[in-house]
């Protein structure tokens, strides 16, 4: 009998091609919701591998119920759903999908920046309201911001940050960055120096205790008057109370928010602002990137099925189970 691998939602076979023939695949319900935790726990005793969307809490309770489990693969870059210590002790691999979402996230970063700079959603609402037909042309009324020669300060210069830099340079923007690596690069700035000169501050750091409220009230005060903020990282990286206050008083010109501090709840003072463009955490998620990420997960599970380490491990299990 083939080892069993659970995918907590429904996916077409061509997204998990490396596993076909190697494992008995159990798919989650088609048409939307993912397997409940109860459903996963009920299946757990038989499972060799689990592929999930980062929604499944992988803790000691789950691991205790899954004696045959060897790998949990996340269709995501993040893996804070996993208790890595517990995984290590149980000799189980965790894996993620670095890179799979970088290009789509960088594309979406530029989409939000251009939407803000040229007031696209606001203009779209205006045209749809029929007001343009009544007002006629109003030269000057829709003046936005030209990107050429503006400075974008990229905070967090990993794969996504660098992909944003490449795109921004194609618009003639000056790129500087802050990161805990790369201090030798001439574009490197301390965070304070970056905030002081950037026309656009774009956040691409993981959520860690040290990055929670990285953009705090004190740091927003350091920002250039009339600057834009882009949060493509995680909601709690920005103190949204402080951001809302800075937008209301005009210190900042606008914000592009693909994530929210208490998503899917939106800060009421931000929701009132026409100078904010919201998207519902879709930055990395395109049809192409999702398929690519699932293929990476399937490959990671396939490697472990063949008694090799996964290609993208997030831990180093201390004792292998056999």
Partner 1 sequence: MQKTPVLLMAAVPPMLIDRLEQSYQLHRFIPGQNQQSLAFVAPAIQAIVANGESRVTADFLSRFPAARILAVFGVGYDGVDVGAARAQGISVTHTPDVLTDDVADLAIALMLSAARAVPAADRFVRAGKWLEGSFPLSRKVSGSRLGIVGLGRIGLAIAQRAAGFQMEISYWARQPKPLVPYAYYPSPQALASSVDILVVSTVGGQPTRGLVNAEVLDALGPHGILVNVARGSVVDEKALVHALMNKNIAGAGLDVFADEPRVSEDLLRMDNVVLTPHIASATLETRIAMSDMVMQNLAAHFEGKPLISQVPHE
CB of 109 to partner 1, least distance (A): 10
Q: Does the annotation mark 281 as catalytic?
A: yes
Instruction: Please identify which residue in 29, 45, 250, 280 interacts with partner 1, judged by CB under 8 A.
Output: 280
Q: Which is nearer to partner 1, 1 or 287 (CB)?
A: 287
CB of 145 to partner 1, least distance (A): 6
Three-class SS of residue 309?
coil
Q: Which stretch binds partner 1 (CB under 8 A): 44-52, 90-98, 140-148, 214-222?
A: 140-148
99 touches partner 1 by CB under 8 A: no
Three-class SS of residue 266?
coil
CB of 236 to partner 1, least distance (A): 17
Q: What DSSP line would sit under 62-108, residue for residue?
A: HHHT-TT--EEEESSS--TTB-HHHHHHHT-EEE--TTTTHHHHHHH
Asked if residue 31 lies in contact with residue 15, where contact means CB atoms within 8 angstroms, the answer is: no
Q: Does the annotation mark 169 as catalytic?
A: no
Q: Which stretch binds partner 1 (CB under 8 A): 2-10, 132-140, 236-244, 307-315?
A: 132-140
In whole angstroms, what is the distance from residue 278 CA to residue 268 CA? 13
263 touches partner 1 by CB under 8 A: yes
In whole angstroms, what is the distance from residue 62 CA to residue 72 CA? 11
Q: Does the annotation mark 159 as catalytic?
A: no
Compute the half-sphere exposure of residue 41: CA atoms within 13 Å on the CB side of its CA.
10
Q: What DSSP designation does 267 have? A: -
In whole angstroms, what is the distance from residue 270 CA to residue 220 CA? 15
In whole angstroms, what is the distance from residue 269 CA to residue 280 CA? 17
Q: Which stretch binds partner 1 (CB under 8 A): 87-95, 125-133, 189-197, 232-240?
A: 125-133
Q: How many Å is the maximal CA-CA distance in the chain?
A: 74
Instruction: Please identify which residue in 56, 90, 152, 168 interacts with partner 1, judged by CB under 8 A.
Output: 168
Asked if residue 229 lies in contact with residue 252, where contact means CB atoms within 8 angstroms, the answer is: yes
Instruction: Please identify which residue in 64, 146, 208, 222 interacts with partner 1, judged by CB under 8 A.
Output: 146
137 touches partner 1 by CB under 8 A: yes
CB of 292 to partner 1, least distance (A): 9
Q: Which is nearer to partner 1, 159 or 263 (CB)?
A: 263
Number of C-beta neighbours around residue 305 at 10 A: 19
Instruction: Please identify which residue in 99, 121, 182, 309 interacts with partner 1, judged by CB under 8 A.
Output: 121
Which residues 172-201 are close enough to bind partner 1 by CB under 8 A? 172
Q: Which is nearer to partner 1, 93 or 278 (CB)?
A: 278
143 touches partner 1 by CB under 8 A: yes
In whole angstroms, what is the distance from residue 252 CA to residue 245 CA? 9
Q: Which is nearer to partner 1, 13 or 124 (CB)?
A: 124
Tokens found for residue 321: 């189970």
96 touches partner 1 by CB under 8 A: no
Compute the half-sphere exposure of residue 45: CA atoms within 13 Å on the CB side of its CA.
1
286 touches partner 1 by CB under 8 A: yes
Check 234, 253, 267, 290 and give the catalytic one.
234
**Residues 105, 177, 100, CA angle at the centre, nearest 5°?**
25
289 touches partner 1 by CB under 8 A: yes
Strand arrangement of the beta sheet that strand 200-203 belongs to:
174-178, 151-155, 200-203, 227-231, 252-257, 276-278
Give the residues lining the site for partner 1 (CB under 8 A): 32, 103-104, 106-108, 110-112, 114-115, 117-121, 123-128, 130, 132-133, 135-140, 142-148, 166-172, 263-266, 271, 277-280, 282, 285-290
Annotated catalytic residues are 234, 263, 281
């Amino acid at each position: 009998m083939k080892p069993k691998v659970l995918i907590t939602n429904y996916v077409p076979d061509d997204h998990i091609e490396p596993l076909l023939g190697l494992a008995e695949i159990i798919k989650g319900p088609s048409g939307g919701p993912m397997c409940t935790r109860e459903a996963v726990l009920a299946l757990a005793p038989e499972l060799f591998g689990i592929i999930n969307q980062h929604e499944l809490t992988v803790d000691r309770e789950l691991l205790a119920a899954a004696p045959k489990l060897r790998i949990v693969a996340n269709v995501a870059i993040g893996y804070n759903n996993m208790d890595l210590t517990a995984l290590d002790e149980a000799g189980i691999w965790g894996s993620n999908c670095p890179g799979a979402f970088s290009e789509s996230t960088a594309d979406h970063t530029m989409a939000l920046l251009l939407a803000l700079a040229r007031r696209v959603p606001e203009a779209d609402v205006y045209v749809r309201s029929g007001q343009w037909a009544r007002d006629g042309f109003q030269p000057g009324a829709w003046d936005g911001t030209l990107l050429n020669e503006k400075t974008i300060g990229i905070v967090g210069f990993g794969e996504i940050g660098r992909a944003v830099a490449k795109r921004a340079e194609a618009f003639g923007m000056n790129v500087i960055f802050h990161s805990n690596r790369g201090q030798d690069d001439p574009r490197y700035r301390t965070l304070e120096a970056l905030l002081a000169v950037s026309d656009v501050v774009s956040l691409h750091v993981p959520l860690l205790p040290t990055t929670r409220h990285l953009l705090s009230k004190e740091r927003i005060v350091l920002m250039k008057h009339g600057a834009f903020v882009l949060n493509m990282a995680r909601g709690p990286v920005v103190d949204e109370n402080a951001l809302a206050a800075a937008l209301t008083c005009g210190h900042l010109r606008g914000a592009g928010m693909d994530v929210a501090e208490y998503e899917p709840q939106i800060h009421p003072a931000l929701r009132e602002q026409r100078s904010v463009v919201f998207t519902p955490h879709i930055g990395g998620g395109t049809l192409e990137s999702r398929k690519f990420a699932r293929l990476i997960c399937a490959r990671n599970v396939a490697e472990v099925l063949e008694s090799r380490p996964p290609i993208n491990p997030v831990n180093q299990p201390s004792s292998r189970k056999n």
